[in-house]
Amino acid sequence: MFLRTMQGASAQKITWNQHIAPIIHTNCTPCHKKADAAPFELVTYEDVAKRAAFIKQVTQSRYMPPWKADTHYASFANERRLTDEEIRMIAEWADTKMPKGKDVAKQEPVRYQEGTHYSRQPDTILQMSRPFHLKADNKERFIVYKIPFELPADMNVEAIEFVSSNRKVIHHANYEIDAVPDLDIYAGQEYINLTEEDRGKYLQYVPFRQRMIYYGGWIPGATCESYPKNIGWVMPKRGVILLTLHYAPVGKEEDNISGIQLFFTKTPVKREIRAVSFGSGGVGEKDIDPFFYIPADAVKTFRLKVTVPEDQSIMYVWPHMHYIGKKFKAFGVTPVGDTVKMVSVTDWDFKWQEVYWYPKLLKLPKGTVIHIEAIYDNTAANPANPSSPPRLIYSSGDMKSTDEMLTLVMLYLNYEKGDETIPLKNENILK
Ligand code: HEC
């Protein structure tokens, strides 16, 4: 008796109900739930207890939850990271036979909307016109869909969300919204399979890309994008969405329809969000140094410098490379010589690319030089190399998934005094 009391006093027992469930439900369940990206559910005590040893391992190695950016370099609003204490608690729970513990008081009911993470139903859904059929061939696919749209008028956007009928087959998605006032938006192919087709086929979409209005991304577990008060963008009346989906390999036949849903507001947008793409296929492509090609068996570093033309407030950055990318870093050097750390990914993985939202608007003063540095490993020692033996890899503005890219997409506004204090988290986004 005496001994037991002593033990009880020296260490608190770690239980499912009290400690582990909240950690799992916040950090794992967004992806590990029914019909979502991960291969199994982590919702109930049983789901988690039977995998406790494995979960201890993947959390200690920080393989899960996936987060590829260096958290010491820069922090982000959408960061997924367990604290050292949370990792220790999971390990201890796994080592002490996973006690369930007493039920805790009922938690507040979760706010929930059918079919969306936003606090209300969407005003419009723009999606692929027909389902895409995936063969059971265990092959990755990289496909860009053209979704033409015509609305009654230009609309003020307060939130946007990626939607899919079959999330578990999608590794990541990116979409670009282009205003196209006068071309035939219905002409040409509905989609282009960048894994298989001639590289030239993508060129038919290039004329639609004259006026990029917005750029968004989704990876498993991500919710929707919405903006602080008075900030937003205007959905043009007419244009195309170019939606790129990276499909995971599947062992049985699957269908998918994806698109985006939009939430409009009558309140005019006072401060308009703009998107810019630097590097391959975008601003400064010709200035990538050295010239962008990667010979077989080489590890090569490329750099790009671009100057910020006016005071800007940055909302997010999206670093992009393909399979053989290894490291990606971006930082600004201001006219007075200060460094603004923007993002560093030291362990690039094509599967886990991410739109990195800053916790608050990030100021880049006029004249700041943004430095982008990327390293590629085109040797046979790189397990992610799609070619065996390695072959010469280049990029020419059209894209094929086995080509490479060096791109940084940035969402920004013209700077206004006080922007540094505006947070980018939004309470209208539900879990
Ligand atoms: C952003 C989505 C996401 C989040 C958040 C996430 N997972 Fe995963 N998890 C996945 C996907 C997708 C896979 C399967 C692909 C893979 O293993 O790379 C996976 C695989 C796993 C595996 C199997 C690994 C293997 O080697 O087969 C374990 C165990 C796991 N997750 C545990 C967790 C735990 C525990 C958490 C929370 C601490 C978590 N995951 C959070 C998406 C996620």
Whether 105 is covered by a domain: the verdict is: no
Tokens of 282: 């975008």
Percent of the chain with pLDDT over 70: 91
**What residue owns the CA closest to ligand 1's atom 29?**
55
| Residue 250 sits in the same domain as residue 115 | yes
Question: For the chain, how big is the Rg over CA atoms in Å?
Answer: 23
CA 32 / ligand 1 centre spacing (Å) = 7
Whether 247 is covered by a domain: the verdict is: yes
Whether 102 is covered by a domain: the verdict is: no
Could you tell me the CATH number of the domain that includes residue 219?
2.60.120
CA 93 / ligand 1 centre spacing (Å) = 19
Tokens of 126: 């723009």
Tokens of 358: 């800053």
| Residue 280 sits in the same domain as residue 402 | yes
| Single residue among 37, 66, 95 that ends a domain in this structure | 95
Residue 62: which pLDDT band, with cuts at 50, 70 and 90? very high
Ligand 1 pocket by Cβ (under 6 Å) = 27-28, 30-32, 37-39, 42, 51, 54-55, 58-59, 64-66, 80, 82, 220-221
Of 43, 64, 169, best ligand 1 pocket probe by most atoms within 8 Å of the beta carbon: 64
On the question of pLDDT at 133 being above 70, the answer is: yes
Q: How many domains does the chain have?
A: 3
On the question of pLDDT at 372 being above 50, the answer is: yes
d(CA 30, CA 393): 36
Could you tell me the CATH number of the domain that includes residue 358?
2.60.120.230
Whether 91 is covered by a domain: the verdict is: yes
d(CA 383, CA 282): 29
Residue 119: which pLDDT band, with cuts at 50, 70 and 90? confident
Whether 328 is covered by a domain: the verdict is: yes
Q: What is the pLDDT of residues 172-182, one digit of tens each?
A: 899 999 999 99
Residue 327: which pLDDT band, with cuts at 50, 70 and 90? very high
On the question of pLDDT at 7 being above 60, the answer is: no
**What residue owns the CA closest to ligand 1's atom 7?**
65
| Residue 67 sits in the same domain as residue 24 | yes
d(CA 14, CA 18): 7
Q: Residue 335: CB partners within 8 Å, gap ≥ 6?
A: 365, 366, 367, 368
| Residue 268 sits in the same domain as residue 278 | no
Query: What is the overall mean pLDDT for the chain?
Result: 90
d(CA 204, CA 146): 11
In this structure, are residues 260 and 161 in contact, taking their beta carbons and an 8 Å threshold? Answer: yes
On the question of pLDDT at 108 being above 60, the answer is: no
| Single residue among 39, 63, 95 that ends a domain in this structure | 95
| Residue 324 sits in the same domain as residue 282 | yes
| Residue 194 sits in the same domain as residue 163 | yes
Whether 103 is covered by a domain: the verdict is: no
pLDDT of residue 28: 92
On the question of pLDDT at 325 being above 60, the answer is: yes
pLDDT of residue 10: 42
Q: What is the pLDDT of residues 25-50, one digit of tens each?
A: 989 988 888 877 788 999 999 999 99
Q: Name the residue range of residue 284's domain.
A: 273-425
**What residue owns the CA closest to ligand 1's atom 42?**
38
Residue 428: which pLDDT band, with cuts at 50, 70 and 90? low
Q: Residues 81-104: what's their mean pLDDT? A: 94
At position 74, the amino acid (one-letter code) is A
Q: Residue 118: CB partners within 8 Å, gap ≥ 6?
A: 159, 161, 224, 226, 263, 428, 429, 430
| Single residue among 272, 290, 324 that ends a domain in this structure | 272
CA 374 / ligand 1 centre spacing (Å) = 27
| Residue 201 sits in the same domain as residue 261 | yes
d(CA 352, CA 165): 21
Of 26, 27, 32, best ligand 1 pocket probe by most atoms within 8 Å of the beta carbon: 32
| Residue 303 sits in the same domain as residue 421 | yes
CA 354 / ligand 1 centre spacing (Å) = 16
Q: What is the pLDDT of residues 184-238, one digit of tens each?
A: 999 999 999 988 766 678 889 999 998 999 999 888 877 788 898 889 999 999 9
| Residue 340 sits in the same domain as residue 232 | no
Whether 292 is covered by a domain: the verdict is: yes
Residue 426: which pLDDT band, with cuts at 50, 70 and 90? low
| Residue 278 sits in the same domain as residue 419 | yes
Residue 280: which pLDDT band, with cuts at 50, 70 and 90? confident
CA 313 / ligand 1 centre spacing (Å) = 34
| Residue 199 sits in the same domain as residue 343 | no
Nearest CA-CA partner of 169 in 202, 132, 194, 195: 132
Whether 199 is covered by a domain: the verdict is: yes
Q: Residue 69: CB partners within 8 Å, gap ≥ 6?
A: 76, 79, 343, 344, 345, 354, 356
**What residue owns the CA closest to ligand 1's atom 19?**
38
Of 19, 25, 28, best ligand 1 pocket probe by most atoms within 8 Å of the beta carbon: 28
Q: Which atom of ligand 1 is least distant from the CA of 37? A: 12
Residue 394: which pLDDT band, with cuts at 50, 70 and 90? confident
| Residue 65 sits in the same domain as residue 119 | no
pLDDT of residue 427: 60
**What residue owns the CA closest to ligand 1's atom 15?**
38
